[in-house]
Chain A
Amino acid sequence: MTVNPKTLPRPTPETLHFWEGTKAGKLLLQQCSVCSHIYFPPRPFCPECASRDVGIVEASGRGVLYSYVINHRLPKWIDAPYSIAVVQLDEGPRMMTNIVDVEQTPEALVLDMPVEVVFDAVTEDITLPKFRPVSGGES
């Protein structure tokens, strides 16, 4: 899937570590040192208890397909219907993504199937985290 340059993420000081992480092949979440809550999207404090004492943790990159749509109303720069999905990570947080390396059909995209992160370097600066079915899992 080609990316529209107008919709590339613009990292902020609070999210920069996440985008540095994906460039280095790591999916980074944050965890509160006080209440242990693991959260996403990034911010420099815990949304559960408001503590600023938070650290960065690397996610396993594993999760399940939680929900999705298959977009059929295509912009000029995309040539086939594609999934816009939400993945539930093993660590708890959910994130939006695309499910790749699999047919973009309801039959192939089965809710709760195990998925794993793959890193898509769409530009020199931006690598998007996408997910694919876990090989050896449900096929």
Chain B
Amino acid sequence: MKPGSVAIVGAAETTQLGKIPDASQIQLHADAALNAMADCGIGPKDIDGLACAAEWPTELAHYLGITPTWVDGTMVGGCSFMIHLRHAAAAINEGLCKTVLITHGESGRSWIGSKALGNNPASLAGQFEIPFGCLGPPTMFTIPVLRYMKAYGLTHEQLANVAVVQREWAGMNPRASQREPITVEDVLSSKMIAYPFHILECCLVTDGGGALIVTSADRIGDFPTKPVYVLGTGESVETPMISQMQDFTSSRAFRVAGAKAFEESGVSRDDVDHLMIYDAFAHLPIYGLEDLGFVEPGEAGDFIWERNTAPGGRLPVNTNGGGLSYMHSGMYGMYALQESVRQMRGTAPAQVLDAKVSVCHGVGGMFGASGTIVMSNEAA
């Protein structure tokens, strides 16, 4: 894409986050969508493009009263929304639609009106992974880490420290689910889930949603909000089987999506003021920092330990508290995007002063997919 040709003009999360026992999944999509429309002063009749995951665009279009000329139901897990944003930018630039709504809603904790994904015992993962006692992401997403630890000497303390630093950010955010400070000791003495991962190194399970409204940069005058320009985008997928990822110390999907987004944007790593890396588990920021090229392979554990990503550090990461402490409904990517937009608007609870460039990096499945967005509050 041409950097800055498209802008995010509306953004909002659901009114509530955490435990929402009085809303179904589609209503969480709608609640976020209505908040995003109110944010930028438009209604459903002004929207002609719709992207969502977990619900079909057909369901959302009908539910919200939208008549789209473009839809995208790409569903590759938690980074689907980064990829929707990338596809929306292409569609807007191609003239397929003018104003795109991207929604996410998930009743991850209360499980109201959610579609059970379930195991398909005839799929390759169903045949060659699940029968060995895999019980969801905590027992699978975590498998590569011991190999990473042996390859680079990452310590249990350094892994635990990822959760500690993110809790510091969460402490500055009134909407974060978990705000009490924690120590490395607290993490290492918390309940073991799947060695080497303790419960404080695993994401939360909550209810919520979020929505974005995107349009071409030449239409930003029609909206009252401060525009956040999309400078570059990337996407890729690797494998639905964690056992088959090429390199247990690095994600190919991360490397491909990240490189593409930086290349499109013309932004260098040194230009980045703020970074979101989808953290379903404590190792994700480590892989992300390395695979996006912010540090060399094997250096991220030290980089975080030296407080570079913490409050006051030179590269603030996961400033909302992340999936570990802010919220995690199952497909967290939308909340990472919301925090990048808040930082670019200057409205984040833990605002990074004078931040001009934010990178938002998502994972889907278990290192299965990736989407990366480079955005800025200045046109390219």
Contact = CB atoms under 8 A, between A and B. Distances in A.
Given A41-B127, A69-B197, 8 more contacts: A7-B126, A7-B131, A9-B131, A72-B192, A72-B195, A82-B133, A94-B244, A96-B241
B128 A69 contact: no
Chain B's interface: helix, strand, loop or mixed, by majority?
Answer: mixed
Nearest to B127: A9
Nearest to A3: B131
B135 A71 contact: yes
B86 to A, nearest CB: 26
A94 B143 CA distance: 13
B56 interface: no
A40 B138 CA distance: 24
27 contacts: A1-B133, A3-B131, A7-B126, A7-B130, A9-B121, A9-B126, A9-B128, A10-B126, A11-B122, A41-B127, A41-B244, A66-B248, A69-B142, A70-B195, A71-B194, A72-B191, A73-B135, A84-B133, A84-B140, A85-B143, A86-B243, A96-B134, A96-B241, A111-B146, A111-B150, A122-B131, A130-B132
Given A41-B244, A69-B139, A69-B194, A8 B121 contact: yes
A128 B147 contact: no
B196 interface: yes
Contacts of B380: none
Contacts, number: 113
B144 interface: yes
Q: Which 7 A-B pairs have the closest CB atoms?
A: A9-B127, A67-B147, A70-B195, A96-B243, A69-B194, A10-B121, A10-B122
A40 B145 CA distance: 22
A36 interface: no
Interface residues of A, number: 39
A30 interface: no
A96 B308 CA distance: 36
A36 to B, nearest CB: 19
A66 B132 contact: no
B38 interface: no
A9 B182 CA distance: 42
B183 interface: no
A69 B133 contact: no
Contacts of A67: 143-147, 248
Contacts of B119: 6-7
Interface centre among B133, B138, B144, B248 (most CB of A within 10 A): B133
Contacts of B147: 66-67, 111
Given A68-B146, A69-B143, A72-B193, A41 B124 contact: yes
A78 interface: yes
Contact of A128 (B131, B139, B144, B243): B131
Contact of A10 (B127, B143, B145, B196): B127
A75 interface: yes
Contacts of A111: 146-147, 150
B299 interface: no
Interface string B192-217: 11111100000000000000000000
Contacts of A11: 122, 127
Given A41-B124, A66-B248, A84 B134 contact: yes
B48 interface: no
A33 interface: no
Contacts of B133: 1, 71, 78, 82, 84, 98
Contacts of B46: none
B150 A72 contact: no
A29 B33 CA distance: 49
B135 A86 contact: no
A40 B242 CA distance: 13
A128 B132 contact: yes
A95 interface: yes
B39 interface: no
A97 B133 CA distance: 9
B129 interface: yes
Contacts of B243: 86, 94-96
Interface in A81-134: 81-82, 84-86, 94-98, 106, 111-112, 122, 126, 128, 130
Contact of B139 (A10, A84, A94): A84
A86 B143 contact: yes
A12 interface: yes
A15 interface: yes
A20 B142 CA distance: 31
Nearest to B145: A67
